[in-house]
Amino acid sequence: MTRFALDIDRSLTGRPWRWRGPEPAGSAGALIDDLLRARGCTHDALERERTPTIRAFMPDPSVFRDMDRAAERLAAAVIDRESVTIFGDYDVDGATSAALLIRLLRDLGLEAGYYIPDRLMEGYGPSGEALVALAGQGSSLVVTVDCGAQAFAALEAARDAGLDVIVVDHHKCAAALPVAHALVNPNRLDESDEGASHGHLAAVGVAFLLGAALIRTLRARGWFDKRTEPRLMDLLDIVALGTVADVAQIRGLNRAFVAQGLKAMARRGNIGLNALFAASRLERAPQAADLGFALGPRINAGGRVGRSDLGVRLLTTCDPEEAASLARELDRLNEERRAIEATVQEQAEALLATQTGRAVALVSSDGWHPGVIGIVAGRIKEKTGLPSIVIALDEAGIGKGSGRSIGGVDLGAAVLAAKDHGLLVAGGGHAMAAGLTIERDRLAAFADFLDDRLREDVARAAAAQALLIDLLVAPAGLTPDLVNEMEGAGPFGNGWPAPRVALGPVRVMKADIVGTSHVRAIVSGEDGRSLKAMAFRQVDTPLGQALLGADRSARFWLAGRARIDDWGARPAAELHIEDMALA
């Protein structure tokens, strides 16, 4: 068993602290390799992981079932100038997946249409009505992206209407698959071993691989003998955005997608993304965290509280004025989303306070906006440490639910199982996130089912939830140079966590409330240096109260993520606090 870091077996939040690696990360020069090893990187893989490239991680697309069949059908559509529609989802992964294929097909000389269902009126995924309507409007081929793996009835209707459908998805599949011309999904139960090893890809990553297979197929047919071959790598900026925003695990090929996508994004070749940068007030080179916390929420806002197609329109437009207008609208909708979210969050937490002993935090209510329930579920998960599901009920008693899970607990599989048991109208997802439709009178039985199925998994996950520390620094050692050096082991995200530092021993010299929910502290170390530390959304938690009420004579260890505050005249390092313990 890994030893306790700093002899802390129980922190203020009740967790033990442990070193992520066998010992704290080393000094300059060895730091990056130590951080990589602590994330499971072997000695032989260090060079590849230091600079993750597409070439080093890219599989042959043909290892995925139906990939060649999908590429052949799409190539035929390009050559014959067929009417093709990309059927997307209303979240960031769906928008980026659709945008990638639309932009690639445009570069190949085919202007594809798109269809993004309305979250409130149509719900998730393709409906038979929508697909039949597309066939009636002249489409001979529809490519669904980030949806379709569970669309049995809809795809049967499409087949009966003479419409070919290619499904590009990454959500959990059942043993039986819906009828489709091709279904490309690394999470098919009959997927090859190599294909299944890429089950952590977001849908936009699967779409990128389909793009590579399409270009290869057209190349073999001589399509580029007199034409310029598109640069698929130029689309890595939107691949990175979809991957991070969908909270896909940042390991393997996804690390390469994000690392190289950030470089492509810094070149500012996408007019829509440039406008979104301006609306987000981001002027520096983008970082992985910006995709999840600044750009992604704005793209999502269109599908949550606005028009579902705004994200695709922004990412595919060639008109700077249109891009600026769309980005401003998404920024406005994001502010509207924040206000709605805050209300639902408050009400959900009040309901949650009446529950005890549940393995899964599940709350439901009439009148909640379905567009924000996924975000609220994520907030509750972070606050409770439990898998969380938030369900919005409509006037007919039908609930739309969204769930977020914790490491080691496969929520998507549990939702699929509940559907198979007749508890849900519809449902699916992946390990860390799920969506569902449920009737009001099934809520109690569904909650009991989840508790019975997941209780042991949740208990094991909770027992393993030590706070993992990468390195120990004194205030004088927490500098912008150190923060930048640690970024060399990135990009970071789900499955490849950003380094967590232990700071101290320090005394809390001053603490106050910023806004309505954040705590700001000035801490001083025994080396005589002081720095700013932030505890976000912690005012009403034991951590926030401990900071606000700290005695100046008490000595603490703080743990959290080091960031650079570049608002002042000179950049300064600060700590975003996650936990603390007496020194």
> What residue ranges of the chain have pLDDT lower than 50?
1
Residues 162, 276: one domain? yes
| Contacts of residue 246, Cβ cutoff 8 Å, sequence gap at least 6 | 91, 92, 93, 202, 203, 204
Give the number of residues written for the chain.
583
- Count of domains in the chain? 3
| Contacts of residue 511, Cβ cutoff 8 Å, sequence gap at least 6 | 519, 520, 521, 522, 547, 548, 550
Residues 493, 445: one domain? no
Would you state the pLDDT for residue 27? 56
CATH number of the structural domain spanning residue 448: 3.10.310.30
Residues 479, 562: one domain? yes
Would you state the pLDDT for residue 50? 92
Residue-range definition of the domain harbouring residue 200:
61-332
d(CA 20, CA 7): 14
In the structure encoding, which two tokens stand for residue 331, read together?
Answer: 């920024």
3-state helix, strand, coil in the chain (%, to 5): 45, 20, 35
* Residues 534-548 pLDDT 10s: 999 899 899 999 999
* Residues 243-275 pLDDT 10s: 999 989 999 999 999 999 999 999 999 999 999
Residue 183 domain-assigned?
Answer: yes
Residues 320, 369: one domain? no
Would you state the pLDDT for residue 430? 85
Residues 158, 253: one domain? yes
Residues 404, 474: one domain? no
Residues 396, 457: one domain? yes
Residues 126, 255: one domain? yes
Helices (H), 39-91: 46-50, 54-57, 67-79
DSSP β-bridge partners for residue 84? 141
| Contacts of residue 200, Cβ cutoff 8 Å, sequence gap at least 6 | 248, 249, 251, 252, 254, 495
Residue 53 domain-assigned?
Answer: no
Residues 441, 570: one domain? no
Residues 265, 362: one domain? no
Q: Which helix (H) or strand (E) holds 444?
A: helix 443-463
Would you state the pLDDT for residue 279? 95
Would you state the pLDDT for residue 1? 44
Residue 44 domain-assigned?
Answer: no
Closest alpha carbon to 123 in 152, 99, 156, 147: 147
Residues 310, 364: one domain? no
- End of a domain among 413, 434, 463? 463
Residue 339 domain-assigned?
Answer: no
Residue 343 domain-assigned?
Answer: no
CATH number of the structural domain spanning residue 513: 2.40.50.460
Residues 269, 296: one domain? yes
In the structure encoding, which two tokens stand for residue 424, read together?
Answer: 């849900």
CATH number of the structural domain spanning residue 165: 3.90.1640.30
Would you state the pLDDT for residue 380? 95
